[in-house]
Structure 1
Amino acid sequence: MVARITAVDDHDPEPSQSKTLRAAWADLVRGFNQHELWLQLGWQDIKQRYRRSVLGPLWITIATGVMALALGLLYSLLFKIPVADFLPHVTVGLIMWGFISGCIKEGSEVFITNEGLIKQLPSALSVHVYRLVWKQTLFLAHNLVIWLILMLIFPRPLGWDILLAIPALALLVINGVWVSMFFGIVATRYRDVSPLLESLTQLLFYVTPIVWMTRTLQDQGGAISSRARIAELNPLYHYMEVIRAPLIGADLPAYHWWIVIGCTVAGTLLALMAMKQWRFRVSYWV
């Protein structure tokens, strides 16, 4: 009981006076300023995961590359799309999906798995979220090696538009923070949320254009073409497009950016509301 009380005092000495958006935002800023801590912890997570492994983190790249190659070749034959067009589409989609699904699934358990640190380490609650997102970003960086190899095998004209991938990746990381924070708090309070998110993430994989293309549906015309517009109701479709299009040299309508920016702002506010209401209770719930 002493440990629990100490943990609450470290995070928020007077919870009743800190249930404001300003205090929630201050937690995010304080956690970010403790970057030396979460950078080191995130890197330590990767080293611990691949301890005594010969290839180490390269296993991440190999697994993603094999999956992309298998799915890319299979579905290019099924959909009758040239491999040179379809394989980069699938590969970049899988790379980005690895980051998104990691933030959702691991984010739902981020506070539960860090129970000991939360109770004993006087730091901002957001430190644990930054640690997780930093680890997922390192995984993403490893997997981008596959994209570089594909660009050498299937060269395509990549102009200055490729620089748009930088702000797109920055938005993806910001979304990873609020997703991990929000689902982390909710899943810590309600433990059934975590397995539910596991199933939901699997479903989202199939309804997001990763191993299929909206262009394929549109080319068929008729009712199928009109149903392709339903894919745009999925926010993850727009997140994929703003990153994938610059990396494979595809056209990118501006409305994708506005939707992603809008979702980022709305999601950040949602996470701040959750922090405002419940962040000082996480130490009790874990």
Structure 2
Amino acid sequence: MQPTSTVERPAAPLAPNSRTFARAFADVRDAWRQRELWGHLGWQDIKQRYRRSIIGPLWITISMGTTALALGLLYSQLFNQQISTFLPYVTAGFIIWNFILGVVTEGTEVFIANEGLIKHLPAPITVHVLRMVWRQVLFLAHNLIVYVVVVTIFFPTLIEPYQMEGDPVTQPGLSWMALMAIPGFVLVVVNAVWMALLFGIISTRFRDIPPVISSFINLVFFMTPIVWHVGVLNKVTDGEGSWRTLIAELNPIFHFVEIVRAPMLGHAQDWHHWVVVGAITVVGWTLALVAMRNYRARVSYWV
């Protein structure tokens, strides 16, 4: 018989735990470092979509322009508003809404749509989210052409203080304060990333979520002050503090739209919009990081 050795073999090293917040933070950090990758892929998505088109991405601008014009003309007559002030209001709001809509709807299927890359490309899952958000930013950049055209046409009206009917806050006039829309939009983009991460992970596991959100988002559009003004609610109430104003105030999309739209039109920014958006940012990123901590490694199996 062969003598048995009494020396114990060293135990096999344990696999590192992937369900940690450190791994979730590392996924976001590594994805940001690979911005050349998702930046190039996002740009190629637009080029591929309008391949062999004569005017290419200008179709984005034409579509936005015709929609904003139609909504502005219609609702200005319904709410008895001056077209020179109401059309810029609708245009700015609809441009921001279109960005949020694209992030939410495409964010629910961001991992499902990138099934092939997730299975064959060793990259952080946040790369696919940043690619989608960057693509929506490029769409918004095209749509800003419509805003520039509208502001140029109605510039003599916008540079003078005015008051929309039913609005207790008078606009101070378009000025350099319009640049405050930049930090507001940056904050919206930061929230867009966590929304796509959170909804993308949930929707990959439960495939009923995307159609539910697509149906619900249409209702949110009409409940958000985009083609109507908050002052309309005050006109049918006894005062500004009526419960009907909660229709707008309890809608988180309204606050995201307003921190960008208000400076674009020269309106004074209300601090409570920033407070609400800041609180949503903290809570949203916390939920997204928890979801990534627990389920980030399972996304490749769920797709």
TM-score, with length taken from structure 2: 0.87
User: Whole-Å Cα distance in 2 between the matches of residues 94 and 132 of structure 1?
Assistant: 20
Deviation at 1:222, TM superposition (A): 2.4
Aligned AA (1:202): N
Q: Could you say which structure has the larger radius of gyration?
A: 2
Is 1:120 the counterpart of 2:137? The answer is no
Worse-matched range after superposition: 214-223 or 165-174: 214-223
Query: What residue in structure 1 maps to residue 110 of structure 2?
Result: 110
Query: What residue in structure 1 maps to residue 290 of structure 2?
Result: 273
* Alignment deviations for residues 177-228 of structure 1 (CA, whole Å, 9 cap, x no partner): 1111111100000000010010111111111111111012213432897202
Count of residue pairs brought into register by the alignment: 273
Query: What residue in structure 1 maps to residue 165 of structure 2?
Result: none
User: Whole-Å Cα distance in 2 between the matches of residues 126 and 285 of structure 1?
Assistant: 16
Is 1:208 the counterpart of 2:247? The answer is no
Query: What residue in structure 2 maps to residue 171 of structure 1?
Result: 187
Query: What residue in structure 2 maps to residue 7 of structure 1?
Result: none
Aligned AA (1:201): I
Q: Are the counterparts in 1 of residues 72 and 90 from structure 2 also a CA contact under 8 Å?
A: yes
User: Whole-Å Cα distance in 2 between the matches of residues 104 and 230 of structure 1?
Assistant: 21
Query: What residue in structure 2 maps to residue 264 of structure 1?
Result: 281
Over 3 Å counting, the alpha-carbon distance change for 1:15 and 1:255 in structure 2 is farther
Query: What residue in structure 2 maps to residue 9 of structure 1?
Result: none
* Alignment deviations for residues 37-70 of structure 1 (CA, whole Å, 9 cap, x no partner): 0001000100010000011111011101100000
User: Whole-Å Cα distance in 1 between the matches of residues 44 and 189 of structure 2?
Assistant: 20
Query: What residue in structure 2 maps to residue 22 of structure 1?
Result: 22
Q: Are the counterparts in 2 of residues 102 and 136 from structure 1 also a CA contact under 8 Å?
A: yes
Aligned AA (2:98): G
Query: What residue in structure 2 maps to residue 100 of structure 1?
Result: 100
Q: Are the counterparts in 1 of residues 107 and 197 from structure 2 also a CA contact under 8 Å?
A: yes
User: Whole-Å Cα distance in 1 between the matches of residues 20 and 45 of structure 2?
Assistant: 33
Aligned AA (1:221): T
* Alignment deviations for residues 124-171 of structure 1 (CA, whole Å, 9 cap, x no partner): 110000000000000000001111111111112322321210101101
Q: Are the counterparts in 1 of residues 223 and 247 from structure 2 also a CA contact under 8 Å?
A: no
User: Whole-Å Cα distance in 2 between the matches of residues 279 and 78 of structure 1?
Assistant: 48
Is 1:33 the counterpart of 2:33? The answer is yes
Q: Give matches, 1:1-286, under 5 Å.
A: 17-155=17-155, 156-157=158-159, 158-222=174-238, 226=242, 227-286=244-303
Name structure 1 gaps, 5 residues minimum.
1-13
C-alpha RMSD of matched pairs (Å): 1.5
Q: Are the counterparts in 2 of residues 15 and 280 from structure 1 also a CA contact under 8 Å?
A: no
* Alignment deviations for residues 57-95 of structure 1 (CA, whole Å, 9 cap, x no partner): 110111011000001000000100111111111111111
Q: Percent identity, please.
A: 52
Aligned AA (2:26): A
Q: Are the counterparts in 1 of residues 107 and 199 from structure 2 also a CA contact under 8 Å?
A: yes
Name structure 2 gaps, 5 residues minimum.
1-13, 160-173
Over 3 Å counting, the alpha-carbon distance change for 1:224 and 1:79 in structure 2 is farther
Deviation at 1:15, TM superposition (A): 8.1
User: Whole-Å Cα distance in 2 between the matches of residues 159 and 152 of structure 1?
Assistant: 14
Which aligned runs of 4 or more in structure 1 are off by greater than 6 angstroms? Answer: none
